[in-house]
Chain A
């Protein structure tokens, strides 16, 4: 990870050039007249739309509503998936009974449920959050289950031999050993939840949210608003992936030496 200053400058310059080229291509495309500028607005207009969405904190309110749904959905998914996954990892019977159910429900895309959930719970917040819960539960469950199941048997036997009680083995050995998988599961679950919440907001029309901003802008052909909302969605996704989960993994799992360092 110790790049020379020269190399670091090279990365920055090339990266910047890449972004500038990308934006230039878009700008040329927008101004080419292939589509009307109403649906492919030039960057300047997108910028203006973005700045005006900042006014009064409008975009922050929308982003906050979306993130709140993700947070509630993730919290519910954690309370479902972690105990269930642990149970499946520890008990043969629970694993046998639940595994087929999980493998039936897991491959169903969460967004396929939206129309049905809307019929059952009405449009709005509840429906969107339920979609997020569905999307986030399975990656979590699967990872916790795998994590608990693959705990090194030697560690468990060693703890038992040294006189640890069942509860103690669980707390002191199984839980920490499964933690890397839980964290990976959370990262995957967030990725899924982020897709599900935007899709849910587009399809289940709650009052607020970034997906709703895009949906509303569509009604009025405000492509500039849509694109600036997309930028916000991308920025939040990137922030969580890089700043939150990557850092979380580095400060826990990697520091404990539990994953092989694959970076060169």
Chain B
């Protein structure tokens, strides 16, 4: 009874404490926005931001921008996943590929993708193509590194026993290497998607694409529409959280946890 009571109290505290803090933050924002002496054009109060959000939603601008951004993210990420996993797996499986590519990969890896943006504009013009390519390039390195590590971390004993039981190279690859390296590959894909998402918003600002959440923020700056900017930033954060929480945790649960390779 007392245990249940304390658990109840725990749960109540778990809801109340964050709610109190978030309400406090909202009130603080509201107070500063209204009485802080800042121009409301620069620091809009919460009803204004909410109103901007509703307006964007009703006019379909937000949906169109989100759709365009997600399409770019999907295309860029697909590119990065295909290139990254293949290169990484080859590097992990064949020593000669590893020796040849590792110096280049380790040099290119720490260059922020966004630094290529002006160069890609020169090469491919403005718009969708360079944005997708840039997102693809900058996300692929994390995926390469993780896939490579994953294949290298496959236990030699598994390979040897599969080999001695008469499995050919293809079977070993499909039945042993791929499943065994999957935890690393999935980690790489998750990190790759996160970095693609972070870079994409900035890329859209630099590439002046037709539509997109990054462009919505950047375009609103010209007209001092801070309410639109803040509403868009909130949407960006929500999508980032969904991508991280929903998509990959679900994939991991369906594969790794089910196969007993990871505890939930």
Using CB atoms and an 8 Å cutoff, list the residues of chain A in contact with chain B: 10-11, 14-15, 17-19, 21-22, 35, 39-40, 93, 96-101, 103-105, 107-116, 118-120, 191, 194-195, 198-199, 202-203, 210-211, 214-215, 217-218, 221, 223, 226-227, 229-230, 233-238, 240-242, 262, 264
Contact = CB atoms under 8 A, between A and B. Distances in A.
A136 B7 CA distance: 36
A218 B111 contact: no
A96 B111 contact: no
Interface residues on B, range: 35 or more
B110 A234 contact: yes
Interface of B: 13-14, 17-18, 20-22, 25, 42-43, 96, 99-104, 106-119, 121-123, 152-153, 197-199, 201-202, 205-206, 213-214, 217-218, 220-221, 224, 226, 229-230, 232-233, 236-237, 240-241, 243-244
Given A107-B240, A218-B122, A101 B100 contact: no
Nearest to B238: A107
A235 to B, nearest CB: 8
A59 B152 CA distance: 39
Contacts of B104: 18-19, 22
16 contacts: A39-B123, A96-B17, A101-B21, A101-B25, A107-B241, A111-B199, A111-B205, A115-B217, A119-B224, A195-B198, A203-B205, A210-B115, A226-B119, A237-B112, A238-B106, A241-B110
Contacts of A227: 119
Nearest to A15: B103
B222 to A, nearest CB: 9
Contact of A199 (B13, B114, B229, B233): B114
A121 to B, nearest CB: 11
A96 B119 contact: no
B56 to A, nearest CB: 16
Contact of B111 (A18, A111, A113, A237): A237
A100 B22 contact: yes
Q: Is chain B's interface secondary structure helix, strand, loop, or mixed overall?
A: helix
Contact of B206 (A15, A35, A203, A264): A203
Contact of A115 (B13, B102, B221): B221
A194 to B, nearest CB: 6
Q: Is chain A's interface secondary structure helix, strand, loop, or mixed overall?
A: helix
Given A19-B104, A109-B236, A115-B221, A97 B42 contact: no
Given A115-B217, A203-B206, A195 B199 contact: yes
A104, A199, A226: which has the most chain B beta carbons within 10 Å? A199
B110 A230 contact: no
A140 B220 CA distance: 31
A11, A97, A238, A240: which has the most chain B beta carbons within 10 Å? A97
Contacts of A226: 118-119, 122
A191 B111 CA distance: 10
B42 A119 contact: yes
A118 B221 contact: yes
A98 B22 CA distance: 9
A99 B197 CA distance: 22
A115 B118 contact: no
B230 A116 contact: yes
B18 A99 contact: yes
B119 A223 contact: yes
A120 B229 CA distance: 12
A194 B110 contact: yes
Contact of A108 (B17, B121, B202, B233): B233
A84 B72 CA distance: 36
Contacts of A99: 18
Contacts of B112: 194-195, 198-199, 233, 237
A111 B17 CA distance: 30
A109, A118, A120: which has the most chain B beta carbons within 10 Å? A109
A195 B43 CA distance: 27
Contacts of B241: 103-104, 107
Contact of A97 (B20, B113, B243): B20
Contacts of B152: 264
A66 B112 CA distance: 13
Given A107-B241, A194-B112, A234-B110, A112 B21 contact: no
B52 to A, nearest CB: 13
A240 B201 CA distance: 26
B235 to A, nearest CB: 10
